[in-house]
Amino acid sequence: MTNDHPHEHHVLNPATEEVIATVPAASAADVDAAVARATTAQHGWSAAAPADRARLLRRFAAVVDDHIEELAALEVREAGHPIGNARWEAGNVRDLLDYAAGGAERLTGSQIPVAGGLNVTFHEPLGVVAVIAPWNFPMPIAAWGTAPALAAGNAVLLKPAETTPLTALRLAELALEAGLPEGLFQVLPGAGPVAGTALVEHPGVAKVVFTGSTGVGKEIMARCAAGVKRVTLELGGKSPNIVFADADVELAARSAPGSFLDNTGQDCCARSRILVQRSVYDRFMELLEPAVTSFAVGDPADPATAMGPLISAAQRERVRSYVPEDAPAAIRGEAPRGKGFWYPATVLEATGPQDRTAVEEIFGPVAVVLPFEDEADAVRLANATDYGLSGSIWTRDVGRALRVSRAVAAGNLSVNSHSSVRYSTPFGGYKQSGLGRELGPDALTAFTETKNVFISTEEQ
Ligand code: NAD
C-alpha cells in the first residue's frame, strides 16, 4: 500500500491487514546515487576472473539456502503466500543463482570462418541493469533478472513492488554477507512512477528488465526508446487450458484448480481460460466442482493451506470489478470472512468467446470455461486474445499434442501438465505478453552485447 507520505510505504500482511513494516521510498536522487555506486562496482566485477564471479554467486546461493525458512516466512507475511509455496520461491532464488553462476565461465563467443584472418565474438556485459519487479512472485521474479545479469558481469539495481519490498531488501543483505562487492546489487524500494521512472530514464542504466502489467510495460518500452535502451518485458496473460475429449479427463479436471488458483490466481501463467471439448464438457464440469471446492483456502502460515488472500484491497476491487462475489457462478469455493483480502475460488461459464472475463486478465482466483467443437476451433479460441504467455494441452494423441503446441501462439506450453516455469528453460511471451526471454541456457546473453572482432592474418 502506498500511504500519503511520498517518502515511505507501509507494508501490510494481506491475510490480516496489519502493518508489518514501513519502508523508505527511493527518490530520483537516491537512484542517481545508486547508479553511481553500481557503475563503480560493475567496473571491478566485470574485470574479475569469471571463476571468481561464479564462486561468489555460488556463495550467495549458499547463504540464501541457509536462510530459506526466514525468507519464506517473510514472504508469507508480506505477500500472503502459503508457506509451502514461499519455501519453493526462496529455493528458486538459490537454484537460479547456482545455475547462473555456472554461466559466468561458459559465456563463450564464437569463431566464425572468414577470409584473411580470425573472426571472433565476445559477449560483453551491458553495465548497470535495472530490474523492476512485481508483487506477485517477489523473490523468483527478482532473481530471474538479477542472477544472470550479475553472472554476465553487470551490476543490478532492483526495484521491488511497493507492496512487497521485504524479501528483496533481505536478499541484498544476504548478498553482502556472501561477499558480493558493495554497490553491485542494490535494492531500491519505491514508487513505480518515481523510483521506477528514474531508473528507466537514467542514462547510466543500460537495460531495463520489467515484469508487471502490460500497460506499464508499454510505457516503459516507450521511455526506453529515447535512449535506445535495451528492454525485456514479461507482461500479462490469459492462458488457455485446452481439454480434448481423448484426454484423461479426470486428471485434467483434478489438476485444473491448481493451474488457476495457485498464488490466488495472481500468476501471469494462470490457466484462466479452460477450453473443453463439447462432448466431455458436462463430465469435466462435474469433476471440476469438487476439485475447486476442496482447494484448501486459509491461513498462509499453515502448511495445509493451498491458497491465501489476494495481495491488497486494490487487487480485490479489481477482481470484484470483473466478478462481484454475489454474481452467478458455475462453481464457487469458500473464503475466510473478516480481516484480510480474501476472495473465493470462482469458475464462470462464458456467455461467448468475447465475454470480458474470457479475454481480459483478471489476476485473481477466477477461471472461465468455454466449450469447443474440434481441434481447429480449440486453436482459434486459444489464440483469440492479445496475450500469448502460456497454456496447457490435455490429449492422449501425440500428434495432436504437437500440432496444437505448434499452433498456439504462446511462449510456454505444457502437455498433460501445467508446468511452465523452470530456471533451466526459456520463459517469455508472444504478442502483448512480453518481449525477450528470461531463464534457460541463454539467459546470460540477454545481459550482454555481442562484439565482433576481426584480426587480420595477412602479412603486413
Ligand atoms: P505494475 O505494472 O503496476 O507494477 C510492476 C512494477 O512496476 C512495480 O515494481 C511497480 O512499482 C513498477 N512500476 C509501476 N509503474 C511504473 C512506471 N511508470 N515506471 C517504472 N516502473 C513502474 O504491475 P503489478 O500490479 O505489480 O503486477 C500485476 C501485473 O503484472 C499483472 O498484469 C500480471 O500479469 C503482470 N505480471 C506478469 C508477469 C510475467 O512474467 N509475464 C509476472 C508477474 C506479473
Label residue 130 left, alpha or beta by phi (over 0 means left) and psi (-120 to 50 means alpha).
beta
- Rounded to an integer, the average pLDDT of 438-447 is 98
C-alpha 43/C-alpha 369 separation (Å) is: 53
Residue range(s) of every CATH 3.40.309.10 domain in the chain: 240-421
pLDDT per residue as tens digits for the range 228-256:
999 999 999 999 999 999 999 999 999 99
In the reported structure, the alpha carbon of residue 235 is separated from the centroid of ligand 1 by a whole-number distance in angstroms of 8
pLDDT per residue as tens digits for the range 149-171:
999 999 999 999 999 999 999 99
In the reported structure, the alpha carbon of residue 294 is separated from the centroid of ligand 1 by a whole-number distance in angstroms of 31
Of 4-8, 105-109, 247-251, 284-288, which gets the smallest average pLDDT?
4-8
Atom of ligand 1 nearest to the CA of 216: 2
- For residue 371, which amino acid is it? P
Residue 259's alpha-carbon distances to 73, 119, 124, in angstroms, are: 24, 48, 39
Task: Look at residue 459 in the predicted model and tell me its pLDDT.
Answer: 93
* 355, pLDDT greater than 90: no
Q: Which residue has the cell 496447457?
A: 392
Judged on CB neighbours under 10 Å (0-12, 13-18, 19+), 68 is middle
* 354, pLDDT greater than 80: yes
- On average, the pLDDT of the chain sits at 96
- Cβ neighbours of 57 (radius 10 Å): 26
User: Among 78, 89, 162, 234, which one carries the catalytic annotation?
Assistant: 234
State whether the beta carbon of 216 lies less than 6 angstroms from ligand 1: yes
In the reported structure, the alpha carbon of residue 267 is separated from the centroid of ligand 1 by a whole-number distance in angstroms of 12
- Please give the CATH architecture assigned to the domain spanning 240-421: 3-Layer(aba) Sandwich (3.40)
Pairing relation of β-strands 155-159 and 128-132?
parallel
State whether the beta carbon of 381 lies less than 6 angstroms from ligand 1: no
pLDDT band at residue 108 under the 50/70/90 scheme: very high
* 5, pLDDT greater than 70: no
Task: Look at residue 177 in the predicted model and tell me its pLDDT.
Answer: 98
Query: Do 9 and 165 contact (CB within 8 A), yes or no?
Result: yes
pLDDT band at residue 139 under the 50/70/90 scheme: very high
Q: Whose CA is nearest to atom 14 of ligand 1?
A: 192
In the reported structure, the alpha carbon of residue 205 is separated from the centroid of ligand 1 by a whole-number distance in angstroms of 19
State whether the beta carbon of 197 lies less than 6 angstroms from ligand 1: yes
Q: Whose CA is nearest to atom 26 of ligand 1?
A: 134
Instruction: Give catalytic status of residue 268 as yes or no.
Output: yes
In the reported structure, the alpha carbon of residue 216 is separated from the centroid of ligand 1 by a whole-number distance in angstroms of 7
Residue range(s) of every CATH 3.40.605.10 domain in the chain: 8-235+433-453
Task: Look at residue 1 in the predicted model and tell me its pLDDT.
Answer: 41
How much is the pTM? 0.96
Q: Whose CA is nearest to atom 11 of ligand 1?
A: 192
- Rounded to an integer, the average pLDDT of 45-58 is 98
C-alpha 372/C-alpha 192 separation (Å) is: 41
Q: Whose CA is nearest to atom 27 of ligand 1?
A: 212
pLDDT per residue as tens digits for the range 400-441:
999 999 999 999 999 999 977 999 999 999 999 999 999 999
State whether the beta carbon of 361 lies less than 6 angstroms from ligand 1: yes
Of 2-16, 311-325, 344-358, 362-376, which gets the smallest average pLDDT?
2-16
**SS3 for 208?**
strand
Task: Look at residue 18 in the predicted model and tell me its pLDDT.
Answer: 98
State whether the beta carbon of 300 lies less than 6 angstroms from ligand 1: no
CA angle 372, 367, 348 (to 5 degrees): 75
Question: What cell numbers appear for 14 in the block?
Answer: 494481506
State whether the beta carbon of 390 lies less than 6 angstroms from ligand 1: no
Question: What cell numbers appear for 330 in the block?
Answer: 458455475
State whether the beta carbon of 136 lies less than 6 angstroms from ligand 1: yes
CA angle 245, 331, 311 (to 5 degrees): 110
Atom of ligand 1 nearest to the CA of 429: 41
Superfamily of domain 8-235+433-453: Aldehyde Dehydrogenase; Chain A, domain 1 (3.40.605.10)
Output phi, psi for 232, to 5 deg: -120, 135
* 3, pLDDT greater than 70: no
Task: Look at residue 6 in the predicted model and tell me its pLDDT.
Answer: 61
For the chain, give the number of residues: 460
Q: Whose CA is nearest to atom 8 of ligand 1?
A: 161
In the reported structure, the alpha carbon of residue 201 is separated from the centroid of ligand 1 by a whole-number distance in angstroms of 17
pLDDT per residue as tens digits for the range 286-345:
999 999 999 999 999 999 999 999 999 999 999 999 998 888 999 999 999 999 999 999
C-alpha 405/C-alpha 383 separation (Å) is: 12
